[in-house]
Amino acid sequence: MIKRNKEKGIEWLFTALAFSSLVFLTGIVIVLVKEALPIFSTVSLPAFLGGESWYPTAEPPEFGIFPLIMASFWVSAGAMLICVPLGVGSALYLHELAGERQRAVLKPVIEVLASVPSIIYGFFGMVILAPFLQDRFNLPIGLCVLSTSIVLGVMATPTVASIAEDALGYVPRSFREASFALGANRWETLTRVIIPAAGSGISTAVILGMSRAIGETMTVLMVAGGAAVVPSSIFDPVRPMTAAIAAEMGEAPVGSDHYHALFAVALALFIVTFAFNIIAELISRRYRLKLGLSR
């Protein structure tokens, strides 16, 4: 009897602890909403999202985050141009062409690249890439949309590669064998059978890569240049949302409009990444069902 009670107790304990992630996630949402709401008594939601001037410390302050949103959008879009082809290409290479011995080396290379801290990418972008671009393109400043996109793209490549490679692993062998049996060569099988079959899995990888790029902080803080204006060219310095939060929170007095505005920026950022993650989750669930996998 005592033994059974102990068993029950332990099961309850694990159940309770298992909900910690949910508690933290909910906690984050509550904190963001609660700390963001006060700013909307100062500016309206449309003025906040659509306003083109972000002068939080001016007198009177202006809280329009449109330039920050555009900055995040453009640097992430640029990063996608790099990490989607490279990431998916690497995944296809690993899955289709690399033999056992190559894989044993190449997979760790991707994992190690993924584990390089963002501050190192930021530092690299600041001291190596930005001066190089500045020199190459004769720019007034090397810290701009282009340099940020390049660094973010490189950072997100291993993320896209490893998720896409997982997705390719789910495609049943029989698909490939059927295609070979019909006389298709390896390239035709890859492009007309495997990629379409893994398509939604690959799009999950792309979405999660995008999510990673938008949420990336230290790199954009160091490499993007910091100017809170809507960029008109890829050589303009910008201030993405994450960079604004990281750079300004230290100076914003707790409880001030600026403080609440920064939480509102974080809330907007959270909503975007959350939506991406949910979409990715939904797609990958449907994908697994489609291929007849339950897990």
Measured CA to CA, the distance from residue 64 to residue 46 in angstroms comes to 9
What minimum distance in Å lies between the beta carbon of 106 and other proteins?
6
Q: How far is CA 122 from the centre of its chain?
A: 16
Q: Give 136-154 as a 3 state SS string.
A: HHCCCCCCCHHHHHHHHHH
Please give the residues from 43 up to 102 whose contact with other proteins meets the rule CB under 8 A. Answer: 85-90, 92-94, 96-98
Nearer to other proteins, 52 or 271 (CB): 271
Segment interacting with other proteins (CB under 8 A) among 31-39, 51-59, 141-149, 194-202: 31-39
Q: 175 and 194 in contact (C-beta within 8 Å)? A: yes
What minimum distance in Å lies between the beta carbon of 24 and other proteins?
5
Contact pattern for other proteins over residues 255 through 284, marking x by CB under 8 A: -------xx--x--xx--xx-xxx--x---
Nearer to other proteins, 3 or 173 (CB): 3
Measured over the CA atoms of residue 270, residue 273, residue 276 and residue 277, the dihedral's sign is negative
**Residue 269 has which token pair?**
């950022």
Nearer to other proteins, 93 or 180 (CB): 93
Residue 70, C-beta contacts closer than 8 angstroms, at least 6 positions apart: 230, 231, 238
Please give the residues from 135 up to 174 whose contact with other proteins meets the rule CB under 8 A. Answer: 154, 157-158, 161
Please give the residues from 93 up to 122 whose contact with other proteins meets the rule CB under 8 A. Answer: 93-94, 96-98, 104, 106, 108-113, 115-122
Q: How far is CA 41 from the centre of its chain?
A: 31
Measured CA to CA, the distance from residue 75 to residue 234 in angstroms comes to 9
What minimum distance in Å lies between the beta carbon of 272 and other proteins?
9
Strand partners, 225: 238
What minimum distance in Å lies between the beta carbon of 233 and other proteins?
25
Contact pattern for other proteins over residues 221 through 260, marking x by CB under 8 A: xx-------------------x--xx--xx---x------
